Amino acid sequence: MSGRLSVVGLGPGADALCVPAATAALAAATDLVGYGPYLARVAGGQTRHASDNGDELDRARLALALAESGRRVAVVSGGDAGVFGMAAAVFEAMEAGPEAWRALDVEVVPGISAMLAAAARLGAPLGHDFCVLSLSDNLKPWDVVCRRLRLAAEAGLVIVLYNARSRARPDRLGEAFALLAQVLPPATRVAFATAISRPDESVAVTTLDRADPSLADMRTLVIVGSAATRLVGPFLYTPRSLP
């Protein structure tokens, strides 16, 4: 087969944070497949196949079929394609699809994830052990989300929350904060990082007892610190060793 499929992480937003390997993969593609707003971030004259948010598996099947037909395809994801992105959807579609898809030339090009961009902007809140969770219950039950949140808090991990709040799920972040407040001290640091590296970027650091869920939307990454996470000047950090 002469086709090729690259799954490309675009980074958090700013062109400077799109890694060179991702830029090269996009430039080499004949076709771009992805969520419309992400495709709009990519310059060039490639054929574009845009779809709505939530159509990940259909998007992945289209990309695989195009690659099977001989096209050089780039599937785009925000941040890193392997962190709540399109890479898993591509492999899920490949596993359930025709045997020929498993013989395709496929690569996953890493990108700078939203959590790494947000952590760098804040200081070093991920300097010790941490976990990453999605608050979306579209693909898993909410009680599973709650159990994982509680266990992470009880384990003393810094918690990074993707998909913190949306119009379809306006109350989940508040429910998550209430659950965490049963385990963590009121003074636990909480950071809201919205649209990091973009012109409308905003950052707020507060405490768990004062955390306002309305500060978050789907562009916001929320970081809940551990008991060790603290401020030094304007910077939020978690020491590499525990007391």
- Read off the pLDDT of residues 190-211 as tens digits, 9 standing for 90 and up: 999 999 999 999 999 999 999 9
**Do 119 and 108 share a domain, yes or no?**
no
pLDDT score recorded for residue 88: 97
35 with 126, same domain: the answer is no
- The residue out of 57, 84, 112 marking a domain boundary is 112
Domain co-membership, 43 together with 122: no
* Nearest to 107, CA basis, from 240, 221, 3: 3
CATH no. for residue 184? 3.30.950.10
Asked if 56 and 147 sit in the same domain, the reply is no
| 242 located within any domain | no
Number of domains in the chain: 2
Q: Which residues pair with 236 in a beta bridge?
A: 123, 231
- Are 216 and 125 part of one and the same domain? yes
How many other CB atoms are there within 10 angstroms of residue 88's CB atom?
17
**Could you tell me the pLDDT band of residue 131, with boundaries at 50, 70 and 90?**
very high
What CATH number did the domain enclosing 108 receive?
3.40.1010.10
Are the C-beta atoms of residues 79 and 118 closer than 8 Å to each other?
A: no
Q: Look at residue 84 and tell me whether its pLDDT is greater than 60.
A: yes
Looking at 97, 112, 127, the residue that finishes a domain is 112
Q: When comparing pLDDT for 129 and 165, which is higher?
A: 129
The model's pLDDT over 91-126, given as tens digits with 9 standing for 90+, comes to: 999 999 999 999 999 999 999 999 999 999 999 999
DSSP, residue by residue, 8-52: EE-BSS-GGGS-HHHHHHHHH-SEEEEEHHHHTT--S--EEEEE-
Tokens of 219: 């562009």
Q: Which domain holds residue 214?
A: 115-237
pLDDT at 1 > cutoff 60: no
pLDDT in tens, 28-83: 999 999 999 999 999 999 999 998 877 899 999 999 999 999 999 999 999 999 99
In a domain, 81, yes or no: yes
Cβ–Cβ under 8 Å, residues 118 and 194: no
Q: Are residue 98 and residue 130 in the same domain, yes or no?
A: no
Evaluate whether residue 139 is within a structural domain.
yes
Does the residue 243 lie in any domain? no
From 69, 89, 112, the end of a domain falls on: 112
